[in-house]
Amino acid sequence: MPPAGVAAPLEVGVTEKIFLSATGQPVVALRDLSFSMAQGEFACLFGPSGCGKTTTLRILLGLDRDFSGSYRLPGGEDARIAAVFQEPTLLPWRTVEQNVRLVLPKARRDTDLDGLFEALGLAGMRALYPGELSLGLARRVALARAFAVEPTVLFLDEPFVSLDERTAQRLRTLLMSVWSARPTTALMVTHNLHEAMVLSDRIVVLSPRPGHVAGLFDIRLPRENRSPQVISDLMRSFHEKFPGHGTP
Amino acid sequence: MTPREPGPTTTTAARTGTAASTLMPALTVAVSLLGLGLVWWVTANGWHSRALPTPAAVWQTLVSEAANGDLFYHLGATLARVVAAYVVAMSIGTAIGVFLGVSRRADRFFNPWLILFLNIPALVFIVLAYIWFGLNEAAAIGAVAMNKIPNVVVTLREGARAFDPAYSDMACVYRLSRMERIRHILLPQLQPYLAAASRSGLALIWKIVLVVELLGRSNGVGFQISLYFQLFDVAGILAYTLAFVAVMLAVEFAMVQPVERYATRWRRRTA
């Protein structure tokens, strides 16, 4: 838990989340999961497969209301939420540009998106349909859509999974350049420790099921100083602090 | 296997191939229809009877009916009923179908009703509509729509069951309005099912409209056919039938297919 008194605009306090398995057996997915994030912080939710990372994200996105406990988002009731899902989830029957504009509030539908498309390298692709894009490009469009709404809180659910490492690396750089231009509170689910080390200010480490916070790992170094050498030092101290976690 | 030929030869061969492949189907259709006409002509000439007029006699009836305006008046009346019944059946059927597709409990409860309605003969709906609501236009169109609604419901229910929950999650997170969800997420996902229901719907509806007209209206193609039936005038019956088939073909090529091409433009470009 962070020290008391620190402003914490995103607070999570899930007491319990139970699934019914296919055979009707109750499975406890989360128990006493609580953490908080400061305004403008980029945090990663890190843990083994099946520990409830995506479940936590779905609860915070308001897609799963069947849990006990509570949470608070930055901005309160009129928080602008944006999400990048595991799959790009673009509407295949709308062009790249239409996909992005569709999620904007009505008053901002005609806003100038040139800068955003330019920054993500999508300038020449606004009139294409998602089916004409590679997975990497479709993921960029999903990022563009999320940043276009200028969210008060951004959720990312393994947005770079099933990409080759070079493309993923390029997308992480793009994500960071767009995010840094307007730092918003962001929570990203990942099971890639290296990715978490490169991107985040703080890693929230989850235990195996039932998921709860096993500990926090703060990275206070500016991102531009995180050379491969620094990252491997960080990895070493992470493994000392959380033995058994994050071994590839 | 022949080895790959050098560039220019291959392209020329491919080009003539595409020209032939676009021309062949049209040619086949033309030859096929000519063949049918020929069979009709030979049979009608061999079997001299008022019961089977020659193609020329039917054409003459068609021309004279067109000249005095009757043909267009009755075609128009029937077409208006087809359109009205189609619109009513598609909108009510889609609403019910989507509801049953997303609500499993409602589907379990109403499924027996649906099976019952699917199996009620068209004639029963028509007769009951005329008895209960009188010999009027609303009863006629309602009876035709009732015949088609269960089919639309069954097709669109499948469409709603195939909804991708990822899109509704996205719509929920980004707070799309109800109208936006219908327009950008619901209808595009239903499009193939709407197209299927429309296709089979138009064909079914126009056949039932004729029965409705025969039983209780005083205009339309069905009314004319019953008139010519009483006069034993087969040329008149065939003339009106062929004229309306031509109208429905025109609707298919001039409206249904262009709409479908527009709705699936994103699919063609990706293919």
Judging contacts by C-beta atoms under 8 Å, the chain B residues touching residue A81 are: 173-175
| Residue A157 placed within a domain | yes
A126 CA: distance to closest CA in chain B (Å): 14
A246 with A139, same domain: the answer is no
What's the pLDDT at B269?
59
Phi and psi of A127, rounded to 5°?
Answer: -95, 0
Judging contacts by C-beta atoms under 8 Å, the chain B residues touching residue A83 are: 170, 173-174
A99 CA: distance to closest CA in chain B (Å): 10
Closest residue in A to B170 (Cα) is A89
A246 closest CA partner among A207, A201, A202, A198: A207
Whether the predicted pLDDT of B47 surpasses 90: no
What's the pLDDT at A6?
41
Judging contacts by C-beta atoms under 8 Å, the chain A residues touching residue B173 are: 61-63, 81-83
* Beta-carbon separation of B173 and A61 below 8 A: yes
A138 with A55, same domain: the answer is no
Query: How many distinct structural domains can be found in chain A?
Result: 2
Whole-angstrom Cα distance, residue B213 to residue B225? Answer: 9
What's the pLDDT at B106?
94
Judging contacts by C-beta atoms under 8 Å, the chain B residues touching residue A91 are: 167, 184-185, 188
Question: Letter for the amino acid at B207?
Answer: K
Place of tokens 């040329």: B235
| Residue A23 placed within a domain | yes
Name the residue facing A94 among B166, B169, B184 (closest C-beta): B184
Q: Is B184 on the interface with A (CB under 8 A)?
A: yes
Whole-angstrom Cα distance, residue B199 to residue B188? Answer: 17
What's the pLDDT at B12?
44
A218 with A137, same domain: the answer is no
CA angle A15, A86, A202 (to 5 degrees): 55
Q: Is A85 on the interface with B (CB under 8 A)?
A: yes
Q: Is B262 on the interface with A (CB under 8 A)?
A: no
Judging contacts by C-beta atoms under 8 Å, the chain A residues touching residue B175 are: 81
Lowest mean pLDDT among A87-101, B38-52, B178-192: B38-52
Name the residue facing A63 among B169, B185, B270 (closest C-beta): B169
Residue B113: band (very low, low, confident or very high) from pLDDT cuts 50, 70, 90: very high
A2 with A72, same domain: the answer is yes
* Beta-carbon separation of A132 and B169 below 8 A: no
Place of tokens 């062929």: B242
Q: Is A103 on the interface with B (CB under 8 A)?
A: yes
Residue B201 and residue B152 in contact, taking contact as beta carbons nearer than 8 Å: yes
Whether the predicted pLDDT of A71 surpasses 50: yes
Place of tokens 């609303």: B138
What CATH code is carried by the domain that includes residue A210? 3.40.50.300
Whole-angstrom Cα distance, residue A228 to residue A241? Answer: 20
A125 with A155, same domain: the answer is no
Whether the predicted pLDDT of B140 surpasses 80: yes
Beta bridge partners of A45: A189, A204
Whole-angstrom Cα distance, residue B229 to residue B214? Answer: 11
A221 with A158, same domain: the answer is yes
Q: Select, from the ranges A27-31, B6-10, B18-22, the one with the highest average predicted confidence (pLDDT).
A: A27-31
Coil, strand or helix at A244: coil
A184 with A97, same domain: the answer is no
Q: How far is CA B214 from the centre of its chain?
A: 20
Residue B59: band (very low, low, confident or very high) from pLDDT cuts 50, 70, 90: very high
What's the pLDDT at B5?
41
Into which CATH architecture does domain B55-270 fall?
Answer: Orthogonal Bundle (1.10)
A196 with A224, same domain: the answer is yes
Q: Return the HEC string of B12-79.
A: HHHHHHHHHHHHHHHHHHHHHHHHHHHHHHHHHHHCCCCCCCCHHHHHHHHHHHHHCCHHHHHHHHHH
DSSP alpha helices (H): ranges in chain B?
7-46, 55-67, 70-102, 104-118, 122-133, 137-161, 165-173, 178-180, 187-216, 221-230, 234-251, 257-263, 265-270
A2 CA: distance to closest CA in chain B (Å): 28
A189 with A126, same domain: the answer is no
Place of tokens 């990706």: B270
| B160 compared with A18, residue with greater pLDDT | B160
Q: Is B268 on the interface with A (CB under 8 A)?
A: no
Whole-angstrom Cα distance, residue B57 to residue B60? Answer: 5
Q: Is B5 on the interface with A (CB under 8 A)?
A: no
Q: Is B170 on the interface with A (CB under 8 A)?
A: yes
A121 with A159, same domain: the answer is no
* Beta-carbon separation of A83 and B266 below 8 A: no
B194 CA: distance to closest CA in chain A (Å): 16
The one-character DSSP state at A225 is G
Residue B75 and residue B243 in contact, taking contact as beta carbons nearer than 8 Å: yes
| Residue A85 placed within a domain | no
| A110 compared with B237, residue with greater pLDDT | B237
A156 with A247, same domain: the answer is yes
What's the pLDDT at B92?
96
A64, A93, A104, A129: best to mutate for the B interface, most B CBs within 10 A: A93
Whether the predicted pLDDT of B270 surpasses 70: no
Whole-angstrom Cα distance, residue A220 to residue A72? Answer: 25
What's the pLDDT at B4?
45
What's the pLDDT at A77?
67
Whole-angstrom Cα distance, residue A30 to residue A208? Answer: 9
* Beta-carbon separation of A85 and B270 below 8 A: no
Coil, strand or helix at A72: strand
pTM: 0.79
Q: Is B104 on the interface with A (CB under 8 A)?
A: no
Beta bridge partners of A12: A35, A71
Whether the predicted pLDDT of B19 surpasses 70: no
What's the pLDDT at B66?
92
* Beta-carbon separation of B269 and A92 below 8 A: no
What's the pLDDT at B9?
42
Burial, A79: exposed, middle or buried (Cβ in 10 Å; 0-12, 13-18, 19+)?
Answer: middle
Over residues A207-219, mean pLDDT: 86
To the nearest 10°, the Cα dihedral for B241, B246, B249, B253?
Answer: -170
* Beta-carbon separation of A91 and B173 below 8 A: no
Residue A205 and residue A215 in contact, taking contact as beta carbons nearer than 8 Å: yes
Over residues B60-69, mean pLDDT: 92
Residue B82 and residue B251 in contact, taking contact as beta carbons nearer than 8 Å: no
* Beta-carbon separation of B176 and A103 below 8 A: yes
Closest residue in A to B266 (Cα) is A93
pLDDT in tens, A23-53: 888 888 888 888 888 888 999 999 888 888 8
pLDDT in tens, B166-175: 999 999 999 8
Phi and psi of A65, rounded to 5°?
Answer: -105, 0
Q: Is A81 on the interface with B (CB under 8 A)?
A: yes
Q: Is A107 on the interface with B (CB under 8 A)?
A: no
| Residue A126 placed within a domain | yes
B43 CA: distance to closest CA in chain A (Å): 52
A104 with A26, same domain: the answer is no
Over residues B142-155, mean pLDDT: 95
What's the pLDDT at B26?
83
Whole-angstrom Cα distance, residue B135 to residue A161? Answer: 66
Question: Any long-range contacts for A25-33 (C-beta under 8 Å, 24+ apart)?
Answer: A27/A209, A28/A209, A28/A210, A29/A55, A29/A209, A29/A210, A29/A211, A30/A55, A30/A56, A30/A67, A30/A210, A30/A211, A30/A212, A31/A210, A31/A211, A31/A212, A32/A212, A33/A69, A33/A206, A33/A211, A33/A212, A33/A213
A142 closest CA partner among A89, A199, A80: A89
Over residues A64-85, mean pLDDT: 84
Over residues B241-248, mean pLDDT: 90
Whether the predicted pLDDT of A224 surpasses 90: no
Domain membership of residue A199 as a residue range: 1-80+151-166+173-248
Instruction: List C-alpha distances in Å: A161 to A110, A172, A190, B166.
Output: 32, 11, 9, 17
Tokens of A181: 């231009």
* Beta-carbon separation of A102 and B172 below 8 A: no
Whether the predicted pLDDT of B8 surpasses 60: no
Question: Letter for the amino acid at B109?
Answer: F
Judging contacts by C-beta atoms under 8 Å, the chain A residues touching residue B167 are: 89, 91
